Structure formats: structure tokens, C-alpha cells
Amino acid sequence: MSTAQKLAPAARAVAILGGDATDRALRLHLEGLSRVDAVGLEQRAAGFATRSIKTTSKAAALDTVIGLIDLTTLEGADTPGKVRSLAAKARTPDPGDLATPRPAALCVYGDMVGVAIEALGGLHGDPDDGRIAVAAVATAFPSGRASLAVKLADTRDAVAAGADEIDMVIDRGAFLAGRYGQVFEEILAVKEACARPDGTAASLKVILETGELATYDAVRRASWLAILAGADFIKTSTGKVQPAATLPVTVLMLEVVRDWHRITGERIGVKPAGGIRASKDAIRYLIAVAETVGEPWLAPYLFRFGASGLLNDVLLQRQKLRTGHYSGPDYVTID
Amino acid sequence: MSKDIQQAGEERRFLDYAPAPESRDIVRLRPSYGLFIDGDWVDGHGAPFTTIDPSTEAPLAEIAVADEADVALAVAAARRAYDKVWSRMPGAERGKYLFRIARLVQERARELAVAESLDNGKPIKESRDVDVPLVAAWFFYYAGWADKLDYAGLGASPRALGVAGQVIPWNFPLLMLAWKIAPALAAGNTVVLKPAETTPLTALLFADICRQAGLPAGVVNIVTGAGETGRALVRAEVDKVAFTGSTAVGREIAKAIAGTEKRATLELGGKAANIVFDDAPIDQAIEGVVNGIFFNQGHVCCAGSRLLVQESIHDELVDRLKQRLTTLRLGSPLDKNTDIGAINSAEQLERIRRLSELGEAEGAERWSAPCAIPEQGFWFAPTIFTNVSTSSTIAREEIFGPVLSVLTFRTPAEAVAKANNTPYGLSAGIWSDKGSKILAVADRLRAGVIWANTFNRFDPASPFGGYKESGYGREGGRHGLTAYLKAGAR
């Protein structure tokens, strides 16, 4: 495989733009990207949905899905107790089958990071090594309507509390108004705020909130913009806006990371979030990933599902494959 | 992250989707089939032949062959049904039968899809999601016309032609049957239809549907056989000949009926240009190119077999196209995950091979998708040729297989000139994000159907047919209806 170059975020943009990431340079670059035909994109996504995943493939797919889930609770009513309960679910997804894989991460608000880490105990760590990471939403999630200083403080706070991953939101207002430079600068600043004193950094997921961007062309531009500014992951939605993740939008974002990989050799992750509740739907996303960017992307550092209810549906399907019959919602634990 | 590439190449399991075969038990084939004449199964007097599954070469059923006398019998039955029943029946009543047929097609959709994939070799996802739904749509559409013939554009009370002799190809066996039978019956004609010799099964199942619908005897007659049976049908006492197939046979038919009162619609070959401009939505254009030529193994008369790509994006497009083709899954037509099925016959495979070798010999660069070819059956991997010149044989002759020739152009005018530079003119495709350019280019293309930012889309309301050697007459829509009507007496 190719040798991925590790560029500093700003250097990434300079290399692609051929100069500084000014508003004008970004505009020229983003508006020069190939356009998206909505009908064609949706047809392609519908095509993935006709794939038929059976028997051994289905079993493998279900386990893969679990290992890619960011188990999420993002409620105003969250409490330490609720987060501990979620952590317990992540540690033991199915008490009836201890061989069940664990989800990739817990995704919580910044003030719950410490609780989550403590509750995970020895299982806290890198999901690509079979442990469970802690992700925190930051930057005035979900609206992003706060000053940059507040967003950065929000981010630093979560990183200092031990968050492994930061899920930030972009300023959709600035993006839709064409102030690409501002959006770029903000992502760059948050990326810097992800740095830890020991020289490592929290991984940065950039939420585009595609439901507010409205057009596929805008989603493609926002995806490029986020990657240019240093995103490790591009994520569809906060889950607080409808529509949240859709298959066509995810396919489009996968095409962007595929193209980025063609140009730079770097691999960027994709995270659809919000609205994916059924195993059947999740498997369609796996198919889209495998057939668009390839199987290596089906790893926690390159693909995640932002979901809460999905895990239990996958567990029910898993039990069905194992036992040959369906049980019911009382045969999986609620978190 | 530090582990960027560590897992690349490791996980190769997911894409090996476990087999997901559609059950063939839903189709109960008889060991042998006769001819369907006057509402009944009768024996043929030619030497019967066996129809096979092209993906395994296993025999499926024995099929009767109609000789000249059998064809005459079928035409006579159609004539009686026309004179005594069908021409006297009010349009609304004819419509009821057509609606009934459409509903039966939907009810038996899975069975028809499986039978089609078995006999033709096309992937089940295409017969299930494209062919059979379109068959039902065609009958529904023309059922609605049956009592509205006054609005067909021929003035009040137009009249049917009488008996139509219809000869259809093997690439979309049941769909071509629907294209022929639905408008003919709606207009008040009766028909004698000959399916292709390699794909007679769904037409014979359709005969069963006609019985189930209570269609009066003789309105639809199905005679099976090869070219000789077709010739007999064209020569028989029919009022109209409708043919879809090769240009060579189309010519023969035109000669045979010259100087007679018989009318004809001929839908013949094609060598469609699929034009991709540099401002095209590139990912969707790639999908469109794939769908344009690899849909139904390229056994499509309107296939986009000549890719005309703007020179500035040629390398990138070809590169992406190859990448995409490596994800196509070739294999058992009945597996729900199969994208590319079997070539319909040994004869057709031989033709595709011969033309591909000729392409190489003439200097074009060949690339085939790396896919495992099953040992039994007829298969051809998706193939593209680059460095093709307009004078190459593979850029001029219809291959009728999964083979794409890539040519380049620099300006819209050059694109139009190259697209039109073919004896055919059935279809064309244009890919651009700029609407005004699409309209300007479409205006200058000499092709019957032009798709913009899509390809191989069919709708019963839209007329379909060709320019030049792609034939004459239109099928589909109001135009397809008038091909079975004449103006009423004043």
C-alpha cells in the first residue's frame, strides 16, 4: 500500500491549494470540485441496499458493526449514573454471550468524560487494540453558536479530562454564507486545541451537520474543507437535526475520503451519526464502505457509527443467528 | 494516528459475500413445451430443440418448433379471434384484460424473474428490479389507452390493423414481449409472437398468464423456433410485422415485405455514444458509464458502447472506471449479489471474443476486470478498450457484449460529430452539470433516445426507436400505439 504522508493540518491545505488557505483560495478550490448529481447518487445508494448479506457474511457483518459503534448519550438529562450504565453496556454488551465484541467508543458531553473513563476502567483505550475509547462532543455542540474562545475552552477542557476523541461541529452559518476561511480557521484552531502536553493529540471528528447544508454539492465542499483543515474523521450529523445520517450522504462522504486518499495517500475516517437504528441499515453502510473505499476502511480508526439504539438491535440479530429464533427486547439489556 | 496502513489488506473477508441464491423452486418448468395456438398447447411439426441455462449449460426444457403450416395455423387462429371477438369488443373491455394481465405479472413476478434469469443468464437483480416491473408497467400503461384510442392522434375512431406478427430478441425476452403485445392488444389487434430460440421460456409462461386472465382464445399466440419460423411468420397472412433484433435480419424483413400491404416497425442495432464532458458529475458519470455498457452484460441494443470522454479528464476517468469495475461481481445469475451474469449463448460469446481480439489486433489497448470466470457456461469479463480510433472495428460494429470502447474529444462540436459518425442512431447519453450544454448537444445528436446524466432508463410513456440503420417506427408511448392503428373511415 502507499506510504501515507503525515502533514501538519495547515501544510495539508497548502500542499493541495498550492498556497495559503485564504478565503479566496478556498473558494476557488471548493467551487472547482466536481458537482454531484442527486438522482445518480441516490440511485447508487439504493443499489447498495439491494445487496443480500446472508449466513456467515451476516454474522461477520454484525460483529463488525458492533466494533464500529460509538455508543452515545447526548441528553441534557445525562447524569453520571446514566454514563456509568452506558459504560457497563459497552463493557458487556450481551451478558448471555461474553464473546460479543465491544463497541469502539463511548460518546458523551465534555463534563462526563471523567466519569466515562473511570467507569470503563482497564478497558479504556484504543479501539483498534480492542479497547474502548471515550469521545466528547465539544465546540458548543450541537449548534456551534458560541465564540471561538468558548469553543476552544470547551475542547481543551474535554481533552484535559482525558477524551481520546473530540467531535466538533462546524459553523454552518459561516459555511452557508460562503465564509469558508472562517470555518477553516476554526477547525484548525480546534485541531490545535486537541493537542496534549505530551505531544500526542485527541483525534478530531468534524461534524458537518449535513441536514442543515441541504445540498449534496455543499456536503462535498464541507467535507473537503474539513479535511483540508485537518479533520481525522468527517461526521454527518449531531443527531439533533433531521435528516441526520442518510446512506446517500454517507456514500458521498466516502467518495470524498476515497478521492483524498488517491491524491495524498492519507486515510480519513467517516462517521454517519443519527437515525441508524436497525442492523439491516447498518449492514448497508458496511457494504457502501467496502464497495466505495474498500475493506481496510472497516476499522475503528476509519469508520464509526454514531448510535445508541443500534447496538441492541444488532445483539438481537446476533442472538437470532446463534439460536435460530428471535427473542425480544427484554432479552437484551437497556443501558 | 500512527497506525495508518497497518490493517490494509488484512480484512479481505467481508466483500466475499456468502452466496445469496434466489430459490429456483418457484418456477415449475415442464419437461417440454408445445406451441400456444388458439388458446391451447399444440405440437409443433419442426424438430424440437432444447433450451439451456447459459450459466451452466444445463438443459431446461424441450421446446417445439413451428413449421410453416404451424405458423399459418397460428395466424389463422389470430385472424378468427380478431374478426369474431377482439375487433368487436369495446375498448374498455380490452383494457380490463390488459389490466388483469398486468396484475398477474406482478403476482407472478418472482417466478417470471427466476425463469428469465435461468433462460437468459441475466442477474436476478436485473430481472427482478428492472425487467419484470417494466413488463407490468407496460401492460398497465397500454391498458389505460385501450378505451382512449380517439386521442391517439389519428382522429376519431381509429381502427386496428388486424393480425400482428411479432419477432423478438433474446436480450430482454419478456420485456420485449410486453413492448410488442401490450400496444397491439390495446389498439385492438391480435398477435402471433415468436420469442428468440435461446430464450423462449418466459413467453411460454406468459401464455399461461393469458389463460389465467381468461383472454379469449387466439388473441395471443406464441410460436417457437429459430430463424426459419420467424421467416414463415413474416411471410404469413399478417397485417403488421414488428421486429426487434439485428440490422441484418431487419433488412431481410424489409425486403420480404416490400410491395405488400404489411406495415412494419423495426427496432435494430445500435452503437450508442455516451458523452462525458469535463464538467460532468464525475462519480455519477462513472456509474452511468458502467450501467450504460455493463447492464445486462451489454446485451442491450441501446447500450452506451462508445464512451466519448473529454480529453482533459480521460486519464482520470479511465482510472476511476477501472477501479469501479473491479467491484463488479460476476457469477451465478440467480445470486442476488451478482452484477454481471452469463453471456446468453456460445454463439454470442464467440462473437464477443472475435471482435475483442480484432480490437487488440487493430491496436487498441485492452483491459479486463480481474474476476474469476466459472468453468461451466458462457462468460466474458467486463472489458474496456482505450486508444480506440473512430476507424476501429470495435468502435463501429455492434458487439452486443460487456465491451466498452473509449474515445476522446476536445470540443462539443467534435463530440457531436464523433457521436453521429455511425450508421446507427438508436440512443446516446450526455453527462454534464450544465443544462444549456446538454440541450444544445442533444439537439444535434441523431439518435432516437437521448439520456442526460443517466442511461438505460425506460418508461412506457416514452417513445423508443432509432435513426438510420437502427430501424424505423417507435415503440412506447402514444407513438408506439399508433404503430398498431390506422385512421378510421370518414
Minimal-distance CA residue of chain B relative to A200: B1
Smallest CA–CA distance, residue B480 to chain A, in Å, is 28
Residues of A within an 8 Å Cβ radius of B:
1-4, 34-37, 39-41, 43-44, 50-58, 60-61, 64, 128, 203, 232, 255, 266-267, 286, 290-291, 295-296, 298-299, 301
What mean pLDDT is predicted for residues B409-422?
A: 98
Catalytic pick among A271, A281, A313, A335: A271
Domain ranges for chain B: 24-268+469-486, 273-460
- Residues of A whose CB is below 8 A from B20: 52-54
Q: Is B413 exposed, middle or buried (0-12, 13-18, 19+ CB in 10 A)?
A: exposed
- In total, the C-beta contacts within 8 angstroms joining chain A to chain B are 96
Smallest CA–CA distance, residue B356 to chain A, in Å, is 28
Q: What is the pLDDT of residue A5?
A: 39
CB contact under 8 A, B18 and A57: yes
Q: Which CATH number fits domain B273-460: 3.40.50.620, 3.40.309.10, 2.50.20.10, 2.70.170.10?
A: 3.40.309.10
CB contact under 8 A, A2 and B13: no
- Residues of B whose CB is below 8 A from A104: none
B23 touches chain A (CB under 8 A): no
CB contact under 8 A, A296 and B284: no
Smallest CA–CA distance, residue B471 to chain A, in Å, is 30
Rg (CA), chain A: 19
The interface pTM score, or ipTM, of the predicted complex is 0.93
Contact of A17 with A228, CB cutoff 8 Å: yes
CB contact under 8 A, B14 and A1: no
Q: Is the dihedral of CA A4, A8, A11, A17 positive or negative?
A: positive
CB contact under 8 A, B283 and A34: yes
> Within a 13 Å sphere around the CA of B260, how many CA atoms are in the beta-carbon half?
17
Answer whether residue B274 shows pLDDT above 50.
yes
Minimal Cβ distance to B1: which of A44, A54, A232: A232
Q: What is the pLDDT of residue A9?
A: 73
d(Cα A59, Cα A315) in Å, to the nearest integer? 11
What mean pLDDT is predicted for residues A164-192?
A: 97
No. of H helices and E strands in chain A?
Answer: 14, 8
Q: What is the pLDDT of residue B15?
A: 85
Q: What is the pLDDT of residue A8?
A: 67
Minimal-distance CA residue of chain A relative to B8: A296
- Residues of A whose CB is below 8 A from B19: 54
What mean pLDDT is predicted for residues A100-121?
A: 98
Answer whether residue B246 shows pLDDT above 80.
yes
- How many other β-carbons are positioned within 10 Å of the β-carbon of residue B376? 12
Whether A8 is in a domain gets the answer no
Smallest CA–CA distance, residue A134 to chain B, in Å, is 16
B11 touches chain A (CB under 8 A): yes
Catalytic pick among B22, B301, B302, B398: B301
Sheet holding B273-276, edge to edge: B365-368, B383-386, B403-409, B306-310, B273-276, B427-431, B449-452
d(Cα B402, Cα B367) in Å, to the nearest integer? 12
Minimal Cβ distance to A35: which of B20, B125, B433: B433
Which residue range forms the structural domain that includes residue A92?
A: 29-331
CB contact under 8 A, B8 and A40: no
Smallest CA–CA distance, residue B114 to chain A, in Å, is 16
pLDDT band at A1 (very low <50, low <70, confident <90, very high): very low
Contact of B240 with B385, CB cutoff 8 Å: no
Q: What's the CATH superfamily of B24-268+469-486?
A: Aldehyde Dehydrogenase; Chain A, domain 1 (3.40.605.10)
- Residues of A whose CB is below 8 A from B15: 290-291, 295
Minimal Cβ distance to B281: which of A34, A232, A296: A34
Minimal-distance CA residue of chain A relative to B339: A51
Minimal Cβ distance to A1: which of B8, B15, B18: B8
CB contact under 8 A, B14 and A54: no
Contact of A206 with A194, CB cutoff 8 Å: no
Minimal-distance CA residue of chain B relative to A165: B1
Residue B296's nearest CA partner among B248, B328, B250, B249 is B328
CB contact under 8 A, B287 and A2: no
CA B370 from centroid of its chain's CA atoms: 27
pLDDT digits (tens, 9 = 90+) for B443-461: 999 999 999 999 999 999 9
The pTM of the full predicted model, rounded to 2 decimals, is 0.95
Is A58 a residue of the active site?
A: no
Smallest CA–CA distance, residue B36 to chain A, in Å, is 36
Whether A70 is in a domain gets the answer yes
B4 touches chain A (CB under 8 A): yes
Answer whether residue B9 shows pLDDT above 60.
no
Catalytic pick among A94, A167, A171, A335: A167
pLDDT band at B405 (very low <50, low <70, confident <90, very high): very high
For B273, list phi and psi in degrees, rounded to 5.
-90, 135
- Residues of A whose CB is below 8 A from B124: none
No. of H helices and E strands in chain B?
Answer: 16, 20
Q: How many domains does chain A have?
A: 1
pLDDT band at B14 (very low <50, low <70, confident <90, very high): confident
Is A191 a residue of the active site?
A: no
What mean pLDDT is predicted for residues A210-223?
A: 97
What mean pLDDT is predicted for residues A144-167?
A: 98
Whether A4 is in a domain gets the answer no
B8 touches chain A (CB under 8 A): yes
Kindly state the cell numbers that stand for B168: 423478438
CB contact under 8 A, B16 and A57: yes
- Residues of B whose CB is below 8 A from A60: 13-14
Smallest CA–CA distance, residue B287 to chain A, in Å, is 8
Answer whether residue B230 shows pLDDT above 90.
yes
CA torsion angle A8 A13 A14 A16 (round to 10): 120
pLDDT digits (tens, 9 = 90+) for A265-293: 999 999 999 999 999 999 999 999 999 99
User: Tell me, what CATH number does A66's domain have?
Assistant: 3.20.20.70
d(Cα A230, Cα A264) in Å, to the nearest integer? 13
CB contact under 8 A, A56 and B18: yes
Minimal Cβ distance to B4: which of A4, A50, A57: A4
Minimal Cβ distance to A4: which of B5, B18, B454: B5
- Residues of B whose CB is below 8 A from A267: 4-5
Whether A3 is in a domain gets the answer no
pLDDT band at B10 (very low <50, low <70, confident <90, very high): very low
Is A271 a residue of the active site?
A: yes
pLDDT digits (tens, 9 = 90+) for B164-191: 999 999 999 999 999 999 999 999 999 9
CA B252 from centroid of its chain's CA atoms: 20
pLDDT digits (tens, 9 = 90+) for A62-96: 999 999 999 999 999 999 999 999 999 999 999 99
Cβ-count burial B244-265 (b if 16+ within 10 Å, e if not): bbebebbebbbeebeeeebbbb
Q: Which residue has the cell 476502511?
A: A297
Same fold, B24-268+469-486 and B273-460: no
pLDDT band at B25 (very low <50, low <70, confident <90, very high): very high
CB contact under 8 A, B327 and A298: no
